[in-house]
């Protein structure tokens, strides 16, 4: 997982509490992505960023918000966690459209009770 970390790696929380997951990269990649992975659904895009303060929604963005105040960090916030948001969350970065530099973080396992 060269140059990309996620924190926390594991979290258990209760329904209704806010949760923030952090993705940190040292690759100076422009694009950053948040996914969730659930059995039978593959990797589903939640939100993505194409630059500092430039973000957009993915296919499963309801209940999630993001922020990117600097190149290195991309934060995913669950405003009020629900049990349906129990999942494994992955962050990914991309250097550019025609770059083969693309990395995934190690993942965060989130359980909402």
Binding segment (CB under 8 A) for another protein, from list 9-17, 42-50, 67-75, 79-87: 42-50
- CA-CA distance, 5 to 15, in Å (whole number)? 26
SS3 83: helix
Using DSSP's 3-state secondary structure scheme, residue 33 falls into strand
How far, in Å, CA of 25 to CA of 2, rounded?
9
Task: Based on the shown chain and the rule CB under 8 A, indicate whether residue 81 belongs to the binding site for another protein.
Answer: no
Indicate whether 74 belongs to the interface with another protein (CB under 8 A). no
- Whether residue 88 contacts residue 35, with contact meaning beta carbons closer than 8 Å, is answered with no
Minimum gap (Å) between residue 98 Cβ and another protein:
6
Strand partners for 111: 12
Choices 8-16, 33-41, 66-74, 76-84 (CB under 8 A): range interacting with another protein:
33-41
Taking CB under 8 A as the criterion, the residue among 3, 43, 71, 77 binding another protein is 43
Tell me which residues touch another protein (CB under 8 A): 1, 31, 33, 35, 40-45, 48, 50, 56, 58, 90, 92, 94, 97-98, 100, 102-107
């Amino acid at each position: 997982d060269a140059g990309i970390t996620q924190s926390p790696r594991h979290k258990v929380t209760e329904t209704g509490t806010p949760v923030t997951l952090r993705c940190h990269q040292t690759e100076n990649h422009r694009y950053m992505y948040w996914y969730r992975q659930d059995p039978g659904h593959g990797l589903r895009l939640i939100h993505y960023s194409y630059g500092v303060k430039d973000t957009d929604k993915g296919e499963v963005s309801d209940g999630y918000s993001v922020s990117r105040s600097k190149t290195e960090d991309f934060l995913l916030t669950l405003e009020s966690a629900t049990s349906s948001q129990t999942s494994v969350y992955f962050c990914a970065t991309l250097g550019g459209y025609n770059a083969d530099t693309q990395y995934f973080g190690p993942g965060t396992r989130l359980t909402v009770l």
